[in-house]
């Protein structure tokens, strides 16, 4: 997948012909696209905000899945989680709560998977632990505003079960 540079005065539905390949350029593009999405959200231009946030998530996926990118694990994971949270906020503002739940749960489950996997490098696992608080807070905030959702309850139960298993394994030595 390739991220595309889009002029800031247009919504991101018409990419230019120049792909951004350098990891630092991708991270800068993610920041720019994210800022455009947040600006559109604040201006109540939700269709444009949705397009910007979807593009930011595509870039974040690219950063996240390219381990040898030269970008710190914490930055790659932060982009991934923030992009999901921003997109979920936009979906919620559009009244598409099921899509918002899917975004939040996807991010949360990805973090839990990183933490649980023996193949996750330690720096990425530590970053996942740090960002788990953010995804949990976003899920709790969503539930406070829109009511409980079974998928979120399952995600939070999975987290509690993992934490309980971790606690048991560290105290039974």
Domains of the chain: 3-171 (1.25.40)
Position 4 scores a pLDDT of 34
Residue found under tokens 């905000």: 49
Give the three-class secondary structure for 18.
coil
H helix runs in the chain, sequence order: 23-42, 46-65, 73-93, 97-116, 122-146, 150-171
Q: What is the pLDDT of residue 160?
A: 67
Residue 164: its pLDDT value, please?
A: 57
Instruction: Tell me how far CA of residue 101 lies from CA of 9, 50, 76, 90, 169, in angstroms.
Output: 30, 15, 22, 11, 31
Encoding tokens for residue 97? 């709560």
**Residue 68 pLDDT:** 65
pLDDT value for 150:
83
| Nearest Cα residue to 62 out of 5, 110, 20 | 20
Tokens of 49: 């905000």
Mean pLDDT, rounded, of the chain: 83
Contact 134, 81 (CB under 8 A): yes
pTM of the complete model: 0.80
- Report, as ranges of residue numbers, the positions in the chain whose pLDDT lies below 70: 1-21, 67-69, 160, 163-173
- In this predicted structure, what is the pLDDT of residue 65? 87
Q: Is the dihedral of CA 172, 162, 122, 72 positive or negative?
A: negative
For the stretch 4-7, contacts whose Cβ atoms lie closer than 8 Å and that sit 24 or more positions apart, written own/partner, are 4/55, 5/29, 6/33, 6/55
What is the pLDDT at residue 8? 43
């Amino acid at each position: 997948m390739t991220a595309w540079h889009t002029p800031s005065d247009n919504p991101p539905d018409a990419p230019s012909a120049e792909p951004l390949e350098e990891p630092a350029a991708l991270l800068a593009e993610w920041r720019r696209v994210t800022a455009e999405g947040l600006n559109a959200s604040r201006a109540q231009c939700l269709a444009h905000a949705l397009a910007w946030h979807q593009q930011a998530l595509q870039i974040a996926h690219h950063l996240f899945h390219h381990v040898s990118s030269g970008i710190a694990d914490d930055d790659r994971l932060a982009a991934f989680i923030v992009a999901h949270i921003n997109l979920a906020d936009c979906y919620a503002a559009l009244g598409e709560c099921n899509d918002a739940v899917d975004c939040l749960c996807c991010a949360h489950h990805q973090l839990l998977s990183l933490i649980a996997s023996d193949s996750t490098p330690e720096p990425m696992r530590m970053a996942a632990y740090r960002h788990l608080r953010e995804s949990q807070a976003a899920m709790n905030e969503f539930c406070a505003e829109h009511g409980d959702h079974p998928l979120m309850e399952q995600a939070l139960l999975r987290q509690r079960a993992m934490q309980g298993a971790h606690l048991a394994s560290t105290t039974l030595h």
